[in-house]
Amino acid sequence: MSTRYNFREYEAKWQKAWAEALVYQTKEKTPKYYVLEMLPYPSGRLHMGHVRNYTFGDVIARYKRASGYSILHPMGWDAFGLPAENAAIQHGVHPKVWTLENVRFMKEEIQSLGISYDWSREILTCSPDYYRHEQKIFLDFLKQGIAYRKESFVNWDPVEGTVLANEQVIDGKGWRSGAPVERRKLSQWFLKITDFAQELLDDLTHLDHWPEQVKTMQANWIGRSKGALIHFPLIEKEEVLEVFTTRPDTIFGASFIGISPDHPFVEELAKTAPALHTFITECRALGTSQKDVETAEKKGFNTGLTVRHPFLKNHTLPLYVANFVLIDYGTGVIFGCPAHDERDYEFAVKYKLPILPVIKDPQEGPLPYGGEGLLINSEFLNGLTVEEAKKEVIHRLVTKKLGTAQISYKLRDWGVSRQRYWGAPIPIIHCTHCGIVPVPEDQLPVTLPEDVTFDQPGNPLDSHPTWKYVDCPVCGHPSERETDTFDTFMDSSWYFARYCSPHSAQPFERKEAEFWLPVDQYIGGIEHAILHLLYARFFTKALRECGYWNISEPFKNLLTQGMVCHETYRDQAGSWLYPNQVERRDGQLVKIADGTPVKVGRSEKMSKSKCNVVPAAKIVEEYGADTIRLFMLSDSPPERDFEWTEAGIEGSWRYINKVWRLVTSHLSDLRTVKADDVPLTFTDNALEIRKLTHKTISLVTQDIERFHYNRYVAHLREFTNALEEFIPNDASEFWTLHEAFHTLVLLISPALPHLAETLWAELGHPPFVVNQPWPQADPAFLREEEVTLAIQVNGKLRGTLVISPDLSVDEAKALILDLPFVTAQVQDSPVKKFIYIPGKIANVVL
RNA sequence: GCCCGCUUGGUGGAAUGGUAGACACAACAGACUUAAAAUCUGUCGAUCGAAAGGUCGUGCCAGUUCGAGUCUGGCAGCGGGCACCA
């Protein structure tokens, strides 16, 4: 028997055998368990983040399979999106060719990992077989009033003549052209996610197995707030501005009205005011990124107009167009109360506006003050608390018909139009007679034409000579197709349903979807905590409203994994270097090409731009799938970032070989053991190993259930280390070793399925270990007869004592107070308190 | 700027409010070997001490508690998200 595990031979052998025996084919039986890893974008090569994600999913899928569940564990491709178009522009490859090539590579790489996917359910979002159903869903949304059209802003590159994504805008300039980007208005399709805002918020409370942090982020994103809508009539014009505020109590501290530069009233004003027009243009040079708008210097434009204060006769407030007022939140108009708001304060100082405190700061701290306190300088509100004042103001506003109570959400409707080629066509026809006409369902899919080029600016669909011209399905008049395509988030908002019946002529079969959903365990990166997960939750509810199913939440349990990081290297010139361009010579890292020293940077998320990517395929080639899988599970808990190191992968490889040597070196001894002939008596050594075997089953089971995968690996190692030292001498000990090895092979199988399968065969069993039931711990072995108790005096550890956990407090106290290291501390002092937690600790308080 | 996290030895990390550092990695010393690789054994938070043992120690500052890495408040550093990257 070789002392090195031949992973190349065995991994290929078992992957082939599993595939031929259709081991991972989904069977619709109860109890069911749906494991899903986030749909990958086919970037070309498998990276470590993917490997980590799929290994996490595979462990739970295999463990649940062994525990008697029927598993749905599918895989597919989020195949539309921007990078394919960038590749087309840069390298002249057609997006479809580029994407399918990437899928082909990545699929091969994923398959080499031996993940238990049912590949017969694979989906590809850029295939008309997939997006035709998305088009149908969109038309249903339209019927149901969930989809609608409105104007909104995009980043416009005036040189390229194209719309840019936020990531393509760098410091306010187009990434290719370098031209300053402007915010431009376009008519686009939106989905009414705001109609579901309250339900999306309320249902978070039922998602018991989602990380709190994700639920908090979603709740803040939805951003429900209670406040008031206040009417401010303009003095100079017949016009009333509506303001939404969460702080109506500070109304007497108002010193100005701020209105968004994108507000229709401002646009109207600008038509006759060139200076205002210039100001708006400046504001729009910021692009659409919220971060840029909020971090920009606060600027205002005094319109010269004034509004009347709702409660103070003869008191007027100036109307400023302010760059920090967002058109998408509230009404796009605010009243500024500088004494109690950071932004308003900054603005007021800059434009020399009055700052009148209306809430008394009990600490007399500096302004602005945002805390609680009693109202001052506020007429009828004086002496009230903030809460009372809010109620009173709203009451008076209602009485005077100048406002109402109002609930507002930060959440905005979801714009799904993209002015791009590589996405699902929006199934709409624009007819000059009939207006907006949905493509009739029997004409779906609206297929993306393939004969396009990227040699001119803008969306190739727009300049396509034939595709966009059709006759109106209603009146027959020559019309034009919608040339925008869907946001790719649409594709990933319902794919989990398609997997349930991937070949259906409908988007999905209701029966199958309702059988499998919700997804029992969803796993993916924390970077998707808000957008993707919120959109998928929204789609689920919207589909319910359209009568597709009776499901409200798609994902029951959620695991958000951290990123895979690696050290970064730069040469003397400061250029990033790949790990394979660097080597250690005489204890120093040098550039292989010329031997010059390398600057080692801190560990960062693996990314192409920093060159700190380790390709997964290379590691699988060198060490095998089980080794890379084991390393991904070791050391770091799933939620945390993972540090990729060469030494770490080596360590995992050593463990694989250790298990291989351990089991194969005892094979001849074990062949004589008959599992059914349980010995009547066991030696002490045997009992100790049996105890550890069952304890390990119990610990490992808990570890997997709780996703403590790093502890799962640690417990396997501890078990293996103990078995290495165990040299069996009599029949009971051989039987014990037999039990221990079978347990070990079963326990490693979710993580190391190829090695487990190999050893299972070596132990003389027919395939497949992956179909074997999960081992059960015998409770008789889990009870501790003696425990080590920590003994503290005044909370400080002074020693330990091995005793039975069943001793009473009095028995324990008598023993402990007699211990020499306790008496030395206690001396003559009276014992004030004696704390005794059986099995854990005793604390003598003096 | 706003929202959400994270911070423990040389390194990754372990620890239902109860013996801080499990399990690994690296390093060092040794065994085996002609040699190397592989494998095995030992040491491995800091500090004082010949030893027994003591003292300090979980980013920083306070607090709650018999007892805090863990809970609370504040601060710092790092990371994720911010609506057209996915």
Q: Is the C-beta of residue A78 closer than 7 Å to nucleic acid chain B? A: yes
Nucleotide nearest to A420 (CA to C1'): B84
Q: Which nucleotide is nearest to A703 (CA to C1')?
A: B14
Distance CA A265, CA A234 (A): 12
* A809 C-beta less than 7 Å away from strand B: no
**Å: A639 CA to B59 C1':** 21
Cα four-point dihedral sign A572, A578, A584, A585: negative
A293 CB less than 7 Å from any atom of strand B:
no
Shortest-distance nucleotide from A289 CA to C1'? B82
Asked whether strand B has any atom less than 7 Å from the CB of A832, the reply is no
- For chain A, helix (H) and strand (E) counts, in that order, are 26, 35
Cβ of A105 near strand B (under 7 Å)? The reply is no
| Distance of C1' in B66 from CA in A837, Å | 12
Asked if A288 CB < 7 A from strand B, the reply is yes
Q: How far is the CA of A622 from the C1' of B33 (A)?
A: 27
Strand B interface, A 549-568, C-beta < 7 A: 563
Say whether the CB atom of A646 is under 7 angstroms from strand B: no
Q: Separation of CA A141 and C1' B40 in angstroms?
A: 68
Which pLDDT score is estimated for A1?
44
Q: Are A561 and A524 in contact (CB under 8 A)?
A: yes
Q: Is the CB of A717 under 7 A from strand B?
A: yes
Q: Is nucleic acid strand B under 7 Å from A818's C-beta?
A: no
* CA of residue A146 to C1' of nucleotide B4, angstroms: 30
Tell me which of A838 and A66 has the higher pLDDT. Answer: A66
How far does the CA of A604 sit from the C1' of B79, in Å?
9
User: Exposed (0-12), middle (13-18) or buried (19+): which is A453, by Cβ within 10 Å?
Assistant: exposed
Among all protein residues, pick the one whose CA is nearest to the C1' atom of B12: A635
Rounded, the Å distance between the CA of A12 and C1' of B36 is 31
What pLDDT does A588 receive? 64
Q: Is the pLDDT of residue A275 over 90?
A: yes
Residue with more model confidence, A499 or A802: A499
Q: Which nucleotide is nearest to A413 (CA to C1')?
A: B83
> In the structure, how far is the CA atom of residue A430 from the C1' atom of nucleotide B71, in angstroms?
61
C-alpha A222: how far from chain center:
16
Q: Which two tokens stand for residue A86?
A: 């960038």
Chain A 765-794 contacts with nucleic strand B (CB below 7 A): 788, 790, 792, 794
d(CA A294, CA A724): 61
A824 CB less than 7 Å from any atom of strand B: no
Query: In the structure, how far is the CA atom of residue A69 from the C1' atom of nucleotide B25, in angstroms?
Result: 37
Whether CB of A537 is under 7 Å from strand B: the answer is no
Nucleic strand B under 7 Å from the C-beta of A270: no
A801 beta partners: A789
The protein residue nearest B14 (Cα–C1') is A711
Q: Which chain A residues in 447-486 sit with Cβ < 7 A of strand B? A: none
Q: What is the dihedral of CA A346, A352, A353, A358, to 10 degrees?
A: 60
CB atoms inside a 10 Å sphere around CB A73: 26
Measured CA to CA in angstroms, residue A716 lies from A113, A704, A721, A757, A783 at distances of: 21, 12, 9, 17, 20
**Cα A720 to chain center, whole Å?**
35
Mean per-residue pLDDT over chain A, rounded: 92
Is residue A432 helix, strand or coil?
coil
Kindly provide the ipTM of the predicted complex, given to two decimals.
Answer: 0.94
Q: Is the CB of A186 under 7 A from strand B?
A: yes
Confidence at A812, pLDDT banded by 50, 70, 90: confident
pTM of the model: 0.94
What's the pLDDT score for residue A595? Answer: 78
Q: What is the pLDDT of residues A579-634, one digit of tens each?
A: 777 776 655 677 777 878 777 776 777 777 677 778 899 999 999 999 999 999 99
Whether the CB of A645 is less than 7 Å away from nucleic strand B comes out as: yes
Model confidence pLDDT, tens digit, residues A15-36: 999 999 999 999 999 999 999 9
Q: Over the stretch A74-108, which tens digit does the pLDDT of each residue have?
A: 999 999 999 999 999 889 999 999 999 999 999 99
Protein residue at shortest CA distance from C1' of B6: A640
* Protein CA at A566 to nucleotide C1' at B33, angstroms: 36
CA of A563 to C1' of B66 (A): 41
Average pLDDT over residues A194-221: 95
Confidence band (pLDDT; 50, 70, 90) for A73?
very high
Q: How many CB atoms within 10 Å of residue A291?
A: 9
Q: From edge to edge, which strands make up the β-sheet containing A300-308?
A: A300-308, A316-322, A256-259, A333-336
Return chain A residues 396..415 having CB < 7 Å to nucleic acid strand B: 410-412, 414-415
The percent of residues above 90 in pLDDT, for chain A, comes to 73
Three-state DSSP class for residue A340: helix
Question: Which amino acid is it at A427?
Answer: P
Q: Which of residues 21-40 of A touch strand B (CB under 7 A)?
A: none
The answer to whether strand B lies under 7 Å from the CB of residue A141 is: no
On strand B, nucleotides with any atom < 7 Å from a protein CB are: 1-6, 11-16, 18-20, 22-26, 38-41, 54-55, 66-68, 79-86
How confident is the model over A514-556, as pLDDT tens digits? 999 999 999 999 999 999 999 999 999 999 999 999 999 999 9
